[in-house]
Amino acid sequence: MKTTIERIDTWIVDVPTIRPHVLAMASIRRQSMTLVGIHCSDGVVGWGEGTTIGGLAYGDESPESIKLTIDCYMAPLLIGRESADPAALLQPVRDTVVGNHFAKNAVETALLDIQGQRLGVPVSTLLGGRLRDRLPVLWTLASGDTSADIAEAEAMIAAGRHNAFKLKIGKREMAQDVAHVAAIKRALGDEASIRVDVNQAWDGVTALRAAERLADAGVDLVEQPLPATDLTGMARLTRKSPIAIMADEALKGPHDASIYAAAGACHAFSIKPAQAGGLFAARDVAAIAGAHHVGLYGGTMLEGSIGTTAAAHLFATLPSLDWGTELFGPLLQTEDILAEPLTYRDFSLVVPDAPGLGLRLDHDKLNHFRRDAPARTMSVPARQENS
């Protein structure tokens, strides 16, 4: 029987974080997720998520622009079409919408969720098949306070949740940041792998001096220390740094990945489906890494459960994940919008194996946290997005 796409819903859902999350470019107290639900004529519904960090502080799409792009430019290309083949459905979207990778990723995820449910297979099977059912998951320490970060990390290790930590730095003077990181590494010792994410905040001289000091402190890796556009600086730093250099914001798809890899501008890629423009584009980024002997890490945009699960399905298929993943986004939120939250145990995330994404949403929670829910429209104005 021919089934068609009947309706596409998009909602911005604002969920508070368990503590302020302090990055070089923004501090967040809640995460704003743009969710897309694609409804088919046979009752199948596929879900996708477009989530960024700090409104427009991190990238050039915001929760509001992701919603608008889907509502005004993508939905009209999809509604009424046969809902069978994600590649055929997405081609007109790719042909007529430039950029907007987060919105494209959200829609592609929802179409793959539909396809998986129809075929009775998980999304990981649609992406080639999984090589692992569990993914190691790191936790980000970003309270901005050294002793609070140490206490948080010790609790995570004791609970068996995380034993690798990423520290968000770059907001303060470099020497102050290095002292903060070194104190945390000293407190946790060999029990924990420590990495830092600078979110583009340094220049080349600062980054090299910092990499040497961080290496002495026992840190394993520095993520995107220089602006994404500073290809030459990243290549110079990668040649000279005593510890691994990772690219993140620089990788806005396979084209950027090939330039970075060919220039030797990093030792590792943070793979992010939203940044790459979709799960298939992210898989291409991973393939470029493989061809250039660049290490792989499963990144996050601090997505909630839908985006996190979509990425998990992809990461489960990658031949190597040298640096593990940071798919902890749902754990940073005070509430989960799933009927059954994802399973985190033994320092890992269990990749769902039911058809499609393998998720069931809690619609009461979803309605409660929707920005356009009547009771919340007054209390959570858009200008409170960042602080």
Which residues participate in catalysis according to the annotation? 168
Count the residues of the shown chain that bind ligand MUC, applying the rule CB under 6 A.
11
Q: Does 326 participate in binding ligand MUC (rule CB under 6 A)?
A: yes
Query: What are the DSSP E strand ranges found in 75-145?
Result: 134-136, 139-141
Q: How far apart are CA 91 and CA 257, in angstroms?
A: 22
**Which of these ranges, 257-265, 285-293, 295-303, 306-314, lies near ligand MUC under the rule CB under 6 A?**
295-303
Does residue 142 bind ligand MUC (CB under 6 A)?
yes
Residues 6+ apart with CB under 8 A from 200: 24, 25, 170, 224, 225, 226, 227, 228, 249
Which residue number places its CB atom closest to ligand MUC? 140
Q: Per CB under 6 A, does 152 bind ligand MUC?
A: no
Q: Which two tokens stand for residue 15?
A: 């969920």
Question: 244-247 and 5-22: which strand pairing?
Answer: unpaired
Q: Which of 34, 117, 140, 305 binds ligand MUC (CB under 6 A)?
A: 140
Count CB-CB contacts under 10 A for residue 191. Answer: 10
Using CB under 6 A as the binding rule, whether residue 49 contacts ligand MUC is answered as no
- Contact partner at residue 254 from ligand MUC, Mg ion, none, CB < 5 to 8 Å by partner kind: none
Judged by CB under 6 A, does residue 248 bind ligand MUC? yes
Q: For the window 162-201, what string marks contact with Mg ion as x by the rule CB under 5 A? A: -----------------------------------x----
248 binding Mg ion? (CB under 5 A): yes
Give me the 165-194 binding string for ligand MUC, x by CB under 6 A, dash otherwise.
Answer: ---x--------------------------
Nearer to Mg ion, 322 or 335 (CB): 322
Q: Which amino acid is at 222?
A: V
According to DSSP, residue 323 is labeled: T
Exposed, middle or buried by CB within 10 Å (0-12, 13-18, 19+), for 239?
exposed
Q: Assess 69 for contact with ligand MUC (CB under 6 A).
A: no
Element (H, E) at 240: helix 231-240
Strand, helix or coil for residue 165: strand
Q: Which is nearer to ligand MUC, 93 or 281 (CB)?
A: 281
Cα angle for residues 32, 200, 206 (degrees, 5° grid): 150
Contacted entry of Mg ion, ligand MUC, none for residue 140, CB cut-off 5 to 8 Å set by kind: ligand MUC
Q: Which residues bind ligand MUC (CB under 6 A)?
A: 53, 140, 142, 168, 197, 199, 248, 299-300, 302, 326
